[in-house]
């Protein structure tokens, strides 16, 4: 009980001291000197909120170091306008050799690797067979799918005529 009353008195004394300090500060700020102090405090607070890590200097096109913030910003503007708005020459590439159909039949290891990489519970393709079914068939499923892919590739290689 004694502790609580002492704690209450201490809190009250701190509150009174804070109120007096604030009152003194407000009275001081009412004077012309106080007005200058307000602006000084505002400038310091504004400066402290600025990003310290940003670049404060850079070189212009001629290699002269720019320190003035407005000149640095203008240089960045020039740099990005030149970077983003100028046309760059493009290399001309030959047509090359035309691609004449599919490559040789997929290897069995490619089919195994493809089945392992496919995710479960995804939408089925045109054959309406989910990947889980192919995996459940095991080696027989891999062989079946591999043979099916090879047959499809063979049919696409046969020219119509």
Q: Do 139 and 125 lie in a common domain?
A: yes
Query: Which pLDDT score is estimated for 84?
Result: 83
Give the number of C-alpha atoms closer than 13 A to the C-alpha of residue 24, restricted to the C-beta side. 6
Range of the domain at 114: 108-157
Residue 98 belongs to a domain? no
Residues in the chain: 161
Secondary structure class of 112 (helix, strand, coil): helix
Residue 75 belongs to a domain? yes
Q: Do 135 and 152 lie in a common domain?
A: yes
Helix-strand-coil split of the chain, %, nearest 5:
60, 0, 35
Residue 88 belongs to a domain? no
Q: Do 4 and 32 lie in a common domain?
A: yes
Q: Do 15 and 29 lie in a common domain?
A: yes
**DSSP string spanning 42-88?**
HHHHHHHHS-TTS---EE-TTSPEE-SHHHHHHHHHHHHHHHHHSPP
Q: Do 42 and 16 lie in a common domain?
A: yes
Over residues 24-69, the pLDDT tens digits come to 888 888 888 888 888 888 888 888 777 666 657 888 888 888 888 8
Q: Do 8 and 37 lie in a common domain?
A: yes
Over residues 15-24, the pLDDT tens digits come to 999 999 888 8
Residue 34 belongs to a domain? yes
Name the domain count of the chain: 3
Q: Do 46 and 64 lie in a common domain?
A: no
**DSSP string spanning 24-41?**
HHHHHHTSHHHHHHHHHH
- DSSP letter (8 states) at residue 161: -
Whole-model pTM: value is 0.34
């Amino acid at each position: 009980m004694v502790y609580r009353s002492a704690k209450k008195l201490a809190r009250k004394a701190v509150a009174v001291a804070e109120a007096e300090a604030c009152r003194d500060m407000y009275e001081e700020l009412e004077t012309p000197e106080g007005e200058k102090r307000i602006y000084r405090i505002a400038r310091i607070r504004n400066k402290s909120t600025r990003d310290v890590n940003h670049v404060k200097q850079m070189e212009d096109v001629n290699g002269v170091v720019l320190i003035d913030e407005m000149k640095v910003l203008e240089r960045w503007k020039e740099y990005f306008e030149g970077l983003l708005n100028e046309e760059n020459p493009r290399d001309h590439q030959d047509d090359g050799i035309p691609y004449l159909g599919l490559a040789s039949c997929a290897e069995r290891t490619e089919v195994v690797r493809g089945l392992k990489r496919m995710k479960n519970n995804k939408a089925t393709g045109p054959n309406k067979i989910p990947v889980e079914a192919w995996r459940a068939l095991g080696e027989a499923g891999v062989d079946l799918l591999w043979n099916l892919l090879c047959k499809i590739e063979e049919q696409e290689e046969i020219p119509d005529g």
